[in-house]
Structure 1
Amino acid sequence: MRGDLVVVGGGLSGVCCAVTAARSGIHVILVQDRPVLGGNASSEVRLWVLGATSHMGNNNRWAREGGVIDELLVENMWRNPEGNPIVFDSILLEAVHREPKITLLLNTAIHELDVHEDAITRVRGYNSQNQTLYTLEAPLFVDASGDGILGFLAGAEFRMGAEARSEFEEGMAPEKEESTLLGHSLYFYSRDTGRPVKYVPPAFALADITKIPRYRDIRVSDSGCRLWWLEYGGSLDTVGQTEEIKWELWTVAYGIWNYIKNSGEFPDAENLTLEWMGTIPGKRESRRFIGDVMLTQNDVVRQSTFSDAVSFGGWAIDLHPADGVYSPKPGCTQYHSKGVYQIPFRTMYSRNIPNLLLTGRLISATHIAFGSTRVMATCATNGQAVGMAAVLCTREGLRPRDLLQAPYMHRLQQSLLALGQHIPGVPFQTENDLSRTATVSSSTTLTLQELTSSNELAEERSYALLVPFAKGVSPALSLFARVEHPMTLHIELWTSQHAGNTTPDVQVAALDLPVSAGGFVEIPVDFRAELPAAAHYFVMVPAQPGVRLHLSKAQMPGVLTVSQKMNAAVAKSLVQTPPEGSGVDTFAFWLPERRPFARNLAVRFHQPLELYTAANVTNGFSRPWCATNAWAPSPEDVTPALTLSWDQVVPLRRLAITFDTDFDHPMESVLMTHPERTMPGCVQAFRVSTLEGETLAEVSGHHQTLWQLSLPSAVQTSGIRLEILEWGEAPPAIYNISCF
């Protein structure tokens, strides 16, 4: 069997790689050694998909990954807000099945390959279900297998374990090189039957629960990946001893269930039955392969920039004790950077096997940096980058390293951005996009004048309105509060040192304002500060006794209210305070509330802010990044429309529109439930027509981020008109329109 690209591994990284490549026109053979797709996200393991958003527990706002993984998560949200892992399986299978240029081989394990002049020429895999041996040939291969079976068999250079601190000057690394790894996890689901259930454990179940130092953390309400800390194997060979590790995890998991059911400590468990037990451990770490550069802790923390950036990360550097569940140490240590960081293409191919691309948790990174890059949404967006790289290599007859040449890298980056990929700080500026030469106008434009109070009051803690301001003098505004007694109220203005960040680490101005007592006191705030750059700024009100700010239910694209708090799932305190010399920053967490509890501070700007102009849809950024970057109509506009027009007739073959699916929402794929199926600011029905009156498309029931239309033949037109027909609770926002 021959294709243009063989992808080994059907986890999220391999799926996103294969779908990206196939949609761009090359023939892909996707090989998966399991009966379903998804890897750790599948119903066999049942880990939720996360990446830079980190459960909304870090300061990375609007940081959900874009492209194919975004499409999958948004679709899962629409079909499966309950987080059923079987439904997510079907969404992944559907995404691959509907691509005619993908040949999918499930239950097929690669075990042998041939190499000629250091390059892989063919691989062989055996399917135990149909007892068939497959020989697969292609010019290019992608290893997305997790353990790196393809790279290992080919002789690609790799590492296992933690590098010494001195090798890359990583403050979190051990003093000396260590062989320890992150372990595997395996967990279970329970179900309430409505009647008492007796449980008899298997003989191999752990009998002495005190062997687990954290056994007092066990809660009867926990199931699925909330039991991520049932981890073991980091001090073993996480490839060769996987079966041994699995049996030990079964011992632990069945022992914990026996403790819950039979210890007498959990009366609420009387009616519970063990509904599902994992059979495939979720692996975290094994081989890491070497590219032309290794991503390090310093790149993650300092947010290094790379000319060959094609992806990004933002999960914490998340390290676990090697002894896992048997360790007396905390189950994990997480240290966040102040924002998202770029991942360069040079980490995504083997430096000594010239036609081998790497993705998933195999990319070229140190053990410490791997603590952040290993999570599935980050792996998936790397998979999309590798898939598009394979497309360019196929079209131009290149090897992966050749793409480092500036013209090819520009094409790779722009091709990824066109598919919805986010590369921090890199705008979409492809030369053949007709929209960039169009005159853009709209029926109306939303201005930010006031977020009206809903008569709800904030808690007594520190709050900030996160809002983008233009370069120049800070705008005057008024906040509203219930004030118990006359006082002097302290208010500050902050921004971020690094472009695109939303961590307040640079104070711009401060005011001390006398306020009177009352239930609805207007507090005029005019910093009159010189703002050095267009960016998101924090209008910050530190907690002061006797003051409760008024809140608003109004939602606005690119505007959020945050407060100083922590998410216990990913942090241990309000302020990240790493050990001295660790190379990690100290800073406070400023987090929004999740819907349906999300609120903004009630505010009135003395002059309306022009944040949502029509020109935003062609500025090259498809999410809030230093600005709103969106067009939205006035709330009074019942027939909102956006128009792109050209001075002369142009041939139009393809359209792409980016809608607002709230990139701040993590959209965890399983276990957690979500309050809505369609994001509040997403346009749900629309019509696209030419200025000459020809309807090109009319869409209803829409919920996705990126909508694309390919016409069977070019339409000659002087412009297009997008009419918004239905939308949700928030203003309907458009981030990008591209015409080709």
Structure 2
Amino acid sequence: MQIFQQTQERDFPHQTLHTDLLVAGGGLAGLCAALAAARDGLQVVLVQDRPVLGGNASSEVRLWANGATSHMGNNNRWSREGGIMGEILEENLWRNKEGNPMMFDLLLLDLAQREKNLTVLLNTALYAVKREGLRITEATGFNAVNETFYHIQAAQFCDATGDGVLGHLAGAEYRIGAEDAEELGEKMAPGDNFGHKLGHSIYFYTRKGSEPVTFVPPSFALQDIEAIPRYKRLTSTLNGCDLWWLEWGGRLDTIHDSEQIKWELWKIVWGVWNYIKNSGEFPDADNLTIEWVGTIPGKRESRRFIGDHLLCQQDIIEQRDHYDAVGYGGWSIDLHPADGVYSRHDGCRQFHSKGTYTIPYRSLYSRSLDNLFLTGRLISASHVAFGSARVMCTCGLLGEVVGRAAALCQQHKLSVPQLAQAEHIGKLQQHLQHVGCYIPRQRLTDPARGAQVTASSELQLSELPANGRWMTLGERMALLLPVKAGESLPLMRFTLRSATSQPLKISLLSSQKAANYCADTQLDECTLTVQETGEYGVAFDWQSDADRYLFIAFESNAEVEIALTDLQLPGIMTVFNSQNARVAKHPRQIVDGDFGAEEFDFWVPRRRPHQVMPAVQFSTPLHCYDVDNLLNGHLRPEQQINGWAPALDDRKPRLSWRWDTPQTVQSLTLILDNDFDNAMETVQMGHAARVTPHCATHYRLWADDTLIAEVEDNRHSVCQHILPTPLTVSHITLELVRSAGAVPAVYSLNVA
């Protein structure tokens, strides 16, 4: 029994925490920042004002996380985010390929709880900060669940709150709304008619039962469905989360008017559902019910803080590579009308760049303060550039960047801005790549410390044998193959057939930028006459000026069929000149005005299990899986495959790294294939398999004659093995015991 006598007043408990880094915000950006810093040795406190982690990707909002792969709907090949964001996507695929948002919550909480250097404060809202000069020294939060105040003192701070709560309270410079076109020369800058901010959305789930379900709308439901100009797009077959365009609030204060925006969105959702259930237009909706509606909106835009570089439209469209590039994006510049669902504009205006673009470190901290990192959707970017960089997998990737940066700043006694200096930034770029964070058009220097590497075999590509299946060339299709500088493709023989004599044009295409996959440049062409079933030779008189991928593009002819193969190979794929309706309205980017973007074709793959590959024979083998690729510092296919794969008949694939002088080794990080082109959206969108076919699922790692690791259920592309005590070794051996069903590939062994 506890008895509390009457008193004049009481206070709630106060706790003071001392830490190296405070991360404010537990969405994907904040979680990745906290995990990265903790893994690099910092003591970290992660403060989240919600009961779960994940932000817009959590079960509270249920938006799928996506990034540079853009639903596999643009020309960004092998662009899925690496590092911790990639680890989350791969682990979620393994545990939760069905896309259950509750299971995604569980995964994120599990990752946070197992990290020994990380303290997580859920249900805790920050409301005050203390500063000394240009440094934040303390932030205070309150947890209404346990009625406790937390005073968190730290050396460094990271704002990943989405709304920039920490930066706002600390007085850092920020912007809300869109820049005028003249300020940065951005031709996509919206005018007043389109509006200057993106709104919120609330999602819902439906379920079909065995009996009719009655729906009685609430009094606040939207009555006039025609107030939504696009209401005729509504169907009873769409999941509520497909209706992302049920958006509103861009004309309001997207922070302080959030409750008003939420009520309007509830009004819209229940009005839409009333129309679907009770208008009589959708008889197949009789047995449908809503089983979940979001209680908080998914927010797109609010404060954007100012760093030493303001990411802008030209950075994205021109794919500018910055000296301090530490991350990247690849989603389209995706701007929505401020009036949202009530607008007569289309739900979004999307323009893609021709490939991925890099994001500089200078956009990831506040120029107002010496110890405030920025990540997530409040980085230093214009409204237009924000339209691309705001998506969650990009935010998660940038979270890891600032977490790793925080550790380096402490290790080298640098302020947050000082790390951006040319003499320091290389430390961060190399460290990120060493732990598996791919940065486009960069490489890791000497990943294996000068080792010589040998293999039990090498795959030499001489044939993709026919399997007896055929596919009609009803749309433009291309085989994507790498070629090295100074080399040409050999004579290729494809198996074709047609009932009547048919012309078939085949083009050799590539990209103006060697690292792109845009097929915007024609190099050569030939025309075949196809009739009876046979092998048809294709040769091109062209020599490459650089390492690059080439498209062997077949024009559409529905009267011609091509033989297919069962053989799947890493770094080689078939793409189609078609559209993915989630991110494009046409198989070609159409620019209907002076927006500063280019028109080009989309060449997109098909999702598993619907991928196909043509059968082909090469007059001389392609040597694209050379074991020396393991030393070139490239962590995935880009301009070349950059990986090693064993010969098809090698039943015990093995690699060995050897040094003339024994090396002291503390950790070994393997970079394996896990199909970096495969989009792994986190929730709602189910996936065909728990791991992609080329992943090495069972391997052994030896140091000299000592087995240091055997992994039998691997599902990750980045596999770090930290040794309990450093070992002095002369060679490291990797045995690949089993893959997930296709030829495995290895890209690097990073030795530390």
What band does the TM-score fall into relative to the shorter chain?
over 0.9
2:496 is aligned with 1:481: yes
SS in 1 for 2:557: coil
Aligned to 1:648: 661
Superposition pairs for residues 175-214 of structure 1, below 5 Å?
A: 180-214=196-230
Identity of aligned residues (%): 48
242, 248, 252: which one aligns with 1:226? 242
Q: CA deviation at 1:487?
A: 4.2
Q: CA deviation at 1:31?
A: 0.4
**AA of the residue aligned to 1:365:** A
Alignment check: 8 A CA contact 2:195 2:339 kept: no
2:66 is aligned with 1:50: yes
Aligned to 1:267: 283
464, 486, 489: which one aligns with 2:478? 464
Aligned to 1:695: 707
**AA of the residue aligned to 2:85:** I
Alignment check: 8 A CA contact 1:164 1:176 kept: no
**AA of the residue aligned to 2:385:** A
Aligned to 1:124: 140
**AA of the residue aligned to 1:220:** S
Distance 1:154 1:653 in 2: 40
Superposition pairs for residues 404-553 of structure 1, below 5 Å?
A: 404-429=420-445, 433=447, 435-454=448-467, 455-471=469-485, 472-513=487-528, 515-518=529-532, 520-553=533-566
SS in 2 for 1:512: strand
Alignment check: 8 A CA contact 1:639 1:724 kept: yes
Q: CA deviation at 1:475?
A: 2.1
**AA of the residue aligned to 1:482:** R
569, 578, 581: which one aligns with 1:565? 578
Aligned to 1:284: 300
Aligned to 1:729: 741
Question: Taking structure 1 as reference, are residues 495 and 295 closer, same or farther at Cα in structure 2, changes over 3 Å only?
Answer: same
Q: CA deviation at 1:585?
A: 0.8
Q: CA deviation at 1:717?
A: 2.2
Cα displacement string for residues 376-426 of structure 1 (whole angstroms, at most 9, x for unaligned residues): 000111111111111111112211110122332111001111121111111
Aligned to 1:600: 613
Alignment check: 8 A CA contact 1:491 1:541 kept: yes
Q: CA deviation at 1:547?
A: 2.0
Cα displacement string for residues 51-91 of structure 1 (whole angstroms, at most 9, x for unaligned residues): 00010000101010000010001000001010000000011
Alignment check: 8 A CA contact 2:190 2:196 kept: no
706, 709, 719: which one aligns with 1:707? 719
2:569 is aligned with 1:556: yes
Distance 1:77 1:681 in 2: 15
TM-score normalised by L of structure 1: 0.97
2:312 is aligned with 1:306: no
SS in 1 for 2:496: strand
Aligned to 2:732: 720
118, 121, 133: which one aligns with 2:149? 133
Q: CA deviation at 1:736?
A: 1.0
SS in 1 for 2:68: coil
Between stretches 499-508 and 86-95, larger displacement belongs to 499-508
Distance 1:521 1:157 in 2: 68
Distance 2:41 2:193 in 1: 45
Alignment check: 8 A CA contact 1:661 1:705 kept: yes
SS in 2 for 1:4: strand
**AA of the residue aligned to 2:712:** S
Q: CA deviation at 1:545?
A: 4.9
The runs of at least 4 consecutive aligned structure 1 residues that moved more than 4 Å come to 175-179
5+ unaligned residues in a row in structure 1: which ranges?
none
**AA of the residue aligned to 1:458:** T
Distance 1:112 1:177 in 2: 37
SS in 2 for 1:696: strand
Alignment check: 8 A CA contact 1:108 1:128 kept: yes
Alignment check: 8 A CA contact 1:220 1:260 kept: yes
Q: CA deviation at 1:553?
A: 2.7
Q: CA deviation at 1:175?
A: 5.7
2:34 is aligned with 1:15: no
Superposition pairs for residues 46-125 of structure 1, below 5 Å?
A: 46-125=62-141
Aligned length in residues: 734
Between stretches 472-481 and 91-100, larger displacement belongs to 472-481
Q: CA deviation at 1:177?
A: 11
SS in 2 for 1:421: coil
SS in 2 for 1:147: coil
Q: CA deviation at 1:709?
A: 1.1
Distance 1:550 1:117 in 2: 70
340, 343, 346: which one aligns with 1:324? 340
Distance 1:350 1:564 in 2: 42
Between stretches 364-373 and 719-728, larger displacement belongs to 719-728
Q: CA deviation at 1:613?
A: 1.4
Aligned to 2:13: none
Alignment check: 8 A CA contact 1:460 1:545 kept: yes
2:592 is aligned with 1:575: no
Distance 2:200 2:497 in 1: 51
SS in 2 for 1:139: strand
**AA of the residue aligned to 1:500:** A
Distance 1:99 1:30 in 2: 12
SS in 2 for 1:585: coil
Aligned to 1:678: 691
Alignment check: 8 A CA contact 2:194 2:338 kept: no
Alignment check: 8 A CA contact 2:78 2:637 kept: yes
Distance 2:259 2:285 in 1: 30
Distance 1:458 1:682 in 2: 30
TM-score normalised by L of structure 2: 0.96
Q: CA deviation at 1:116?
A: 1.6
Between stretches 542-551 and 325-334, larger displacement belongs to 542-551
Distance 2:395 2:86 in 1: 13
5+ unaligned residues in a row in structure 2: which ranges?
1-16
**AA of the residue aligned to 2:737:** L
Alignment check: 8 A CA contact 1:654 1:709 kept: yes
Distance 2:463 2:514 in 1: 27
SS in 1 for 2:658: strand
Distance 2:84 2:309 in 1: 26
Alignment check: 8 A CA contact 2:515 2:638 kept: yes
Alignment check: 8 A CA contact 2:205 2:241 kept: no
Distance 2:598 2:294 in 1: 37
**AA of the residue aligned to 2:531:** A
Q: CA deviation at 1:483?
A: 2.4
Question: Taking structure 1 as reference, are residues 176 and 291 closer, same or farther at Cα in structure 2, changes over 3 Å only?
Answer: farther
Alignment check: 8 A CA contact 1:655 1:709 kept: yes
Between stretches 81-90 and 211-220, larger displacement belongs to 211-220
Aligned to 1:359: 375
Cα displacement string for residues 708-727 of structure 1 (whole angstroms, at most 9, x for unaligned residues): 11112222322111111111
2:361 is aligned with 1:345: yes
Q: CA deviation at 1:183?
A: 0.2
**AA of the residue aligned to 2:93:** M
SS in 2 for 1:122: strand
Aligned to 1:667: 680
Alignment check: 8 A CA contact 1:163 1:176 kept: no
Alignment check: 8 A CA contact 2:497 2:530 kept: no
Q: CA deviation at 1:206?
A: 1.1
Distance 2:209 2:499 in 1: 51
